[in-house]
């Protein structure tokens, strides 16, 4: 439990609510070409930049707890930082440290899974994203674990590799799969047999989140566990064939199974062990449930092999999912929402399904549920289940409808919302769709802006990371756009390393703070900023606010 916050002596807050708006995946582009945020027609945002104090904030690398500033930010660590007001070492960094130190291999869970394989002569299966995007996984972690498994007497390893094309280049899969196949050939010998057993695009199988589309988990189960699906002799041939047949980018490729003599090489059996080597939680919870649930209502698993299952990390600290995990996640405590509940501040949180968990679960330090049923309200707007480029406006109008209703009711002192448009549509790599998504979102920001002004409230607009601001691949040395063989720019589907905005819209401003906002801060400073605008003093160890209040 935390103590209540102290009221600010010189600033009691405004009569209306504080609205904290997260424009997911919206930053300031480094290049003019490919910056869909700048290219979009956004009258509201343009006006806010002209008339309101604003600054740029860091949203990637060490500023959000990642290993280095070469690591792009992501929605998970971004919302963690915004929600807790401080920076904690995050998944990629923690797992890397655990592997480098060898601690992961001395833990009870690793030893239990390895012993299970050795004792039963079973296979050790790895499921996860085959890239070095460092958002959900890192293929270097997988290589290390395979080498250690061989060293400790495991005889067979099967890898169920998901294609990325989202946190890395949209058609970069073979840059990871081909060298990995070579790596497996090098480590294989008469006593050790490691193979890729199945795969598919991350937006087609296995990596659904927030219960949005359980058919993805259904397909993943049949592919990885049952070994059912279209058979190919190798991952390379599967990827090349499916690309030609579908024209899809990596994240959207259909599932495939590797087979010999008409049989899958990696269907799971009793006595096997399974490690989900993704470390990020949101897209790991459903496949984990499929392995761990005694009874599953979402789909018929057909066959449930008796395996030892573990995740790379604990994906839900409240529900303690999974039951077994290899690396302890950051223990994020004393979040802004918890402090505000202790201070009697009523809060309203809303997004559509794709980002609902970010404005709640991740915002609250990877904790499910509320700190107070009386003081908090969560609303989820169901997302469309179809490619986002087909509905680039997503549910921003429905989100705005409800936010405006709550502003006018003036029941909640803090309203938190996430517009997913810039991130989810940005990941499609389709520039025109992102333009549409930005313009649709801008219209809704304008509607909310009017409601905030009428209520005498405040609106703080920011983002968790960049994405839609960097839609084309560029040559790092020259800055030129990379052109594909068809003469069109090469699409970029990954997050950017760009800064994000922090705009303070305060129509009741009367000189209480300096109009020039602080520069060079990370998005973790949004918590202190929000708390101060509510009329409270931020906790002493929170990262400083962008505001400088006058005494």
Tell me the catalytic residues: 75
**SS3 state at 501:** strand
Q: In this structure, are residues 212 and 353 in contact, taking their beta carbons and an 8 Å threshold?
A: yes
Structural element, H or E, at residue 336: helix 336-342
Farthest CA pair distance, the chain: 79
How far apart are the C-alpha atoms of 198 and 399, rounded to whole Å?
A: 38
Strands (DSSP E) found in 135-286 = 156-163, 193-201, 231-232, 256-260, 263-264, 273-276
Q: State both tokens at 421.
A: 């448009």
What are 276's strand-pairing partners? 127, 311
| β-bridge mates for residue 275, sequence order | 126, 310
Beta bridge partners of 321: 316
* Lookup: tokens for 225: 């566990």
Nearest residue to 354 via CA among 382, 390, 376: 382
- Give, for 176, the enclosing helix (H) or strand (E): helix 173-187
Q: Residue 282 to residues 201, 202, 380: CA-CA distances in angstroms?
A: 17, 13, 16
In sequence order, which residues have a C-beta less than 8 Å from that of residue 372 and are 6 or more positions away? 341
Token pair for 151: 């060293």
Task: Specify whether the CB–CB gap between 345 and 413 falls below 8 A.
Answer: yes
Per the CB < 8 A criterion, the answer to whether 437 and 393 are in contact is yes
Contact 166/132 with Cβ under 8 angstroms? no
Residue reference for tokens 């049949």: 222
């Amino acid at each position: 439990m935390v103590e209540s916050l102290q009221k600010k002596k010189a600033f009691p807050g405004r009569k209306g609510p504080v609205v904290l708006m997260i424009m997911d995946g919206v930053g300031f582009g480094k290049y003019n070409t490919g910056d869909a945020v700048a290219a979009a027609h956004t009258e509201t945002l343009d006006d806010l930049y002209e008339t309101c104090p604003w600054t740029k904030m860091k949203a990637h690398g060490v500023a959000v707890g990642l290993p280095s500033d070469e690591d792009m930010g992501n929605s998970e660590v971004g919302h963690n930082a915004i929600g807790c007001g401080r920076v904690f070492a995050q998944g990629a960094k923690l797992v890397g440290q655990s592997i480098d130190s060898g601690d992961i291999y001395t833990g009870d869970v690793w030893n239990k899974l390895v012993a299970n394989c050795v004792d039963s002569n079973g296979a050790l299966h790895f499921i996860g994203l085959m890239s070095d995007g460092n958002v959900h996984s890192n293929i270097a972690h997988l290589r290390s674990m395979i080498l250690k498994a061989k060293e400790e007497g495991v005889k067979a390893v099967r890898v169920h590799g998901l294609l990325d094309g989202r946190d890395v280049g949209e058609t970069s899969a073979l840059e990871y799969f081909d060298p990995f196949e070579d790596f497996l050939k090098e480590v294989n010998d008469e006593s050790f047999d490691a193979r890729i057993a199945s795969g598919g695009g991350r937006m087609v199988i296995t990596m659904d989140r927030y219960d949005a589309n359980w058919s993805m988990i259904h397909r993943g189960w049949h592919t990885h566990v049952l070994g059912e699906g279209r058979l190919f002799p190798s991952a390379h041939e599967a990827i090349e064939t499916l690309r030609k047949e579908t024209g899809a980018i990596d994240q959207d490729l259909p599932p495939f199974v590797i087979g010999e003599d008409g049989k899958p090489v990696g269907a799971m059996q009793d006595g096997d062990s399974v490690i989900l080597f993704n470390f990020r939680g949101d897209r790991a919870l459903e496949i984990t449930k499929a392995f761990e649930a005694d009874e599953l209502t979402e789909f018929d698993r057909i066959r449930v092999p008796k395996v030892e299952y573990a995740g790379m990390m604990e994906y839900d600290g409240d529900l303690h999912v999974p039951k077994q995990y290899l690396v302890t996640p950051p223990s994020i405590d004393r979040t802004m929402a918890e402090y505000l509940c202790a201070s009697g501040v009523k809060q309203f949180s809303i997004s559509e399904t794709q980002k609902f968990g970010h404005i709640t679960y991740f915002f609250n330090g990877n904790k499910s549920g509320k700190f107070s049923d009386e003081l908090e309200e969560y609303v989820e707007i169901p997302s469309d289940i179809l490619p986002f480029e087909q509905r680039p406006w997503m549910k921003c109008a429905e989100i705005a409808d409800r936010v405006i209703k709550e502003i006018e009711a003036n029941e909640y002192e803090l309203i938190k919302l996430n517009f997913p448009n810039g991130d989810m549509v940005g990941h499609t790599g389709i520039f025109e769709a992102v333009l549409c998504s930005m313009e649709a979102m801008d219209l809704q920001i304008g509607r909310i802006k009017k409601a905030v002004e009428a209520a005498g409230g405040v609106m703080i607009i920011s983002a968790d990371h960049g994405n839609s601001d960097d839609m084309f691949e560029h040559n790092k040395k020259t800055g030129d756009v990379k052109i594909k063989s068809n003469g069109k720019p090469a699409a970029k589907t990954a997050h950017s390393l760009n800064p994000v905005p922090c705009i303070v819209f305060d129509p009741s401003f009367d000189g209480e703070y300096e109009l020039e906002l602080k520069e060079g801060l990370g998005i973790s400073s949004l918590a202190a900023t929000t708390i101060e605008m509510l009329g409270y003093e931020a906790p002493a160890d929170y990262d400083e606010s962008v505001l400088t209040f006058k005494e």
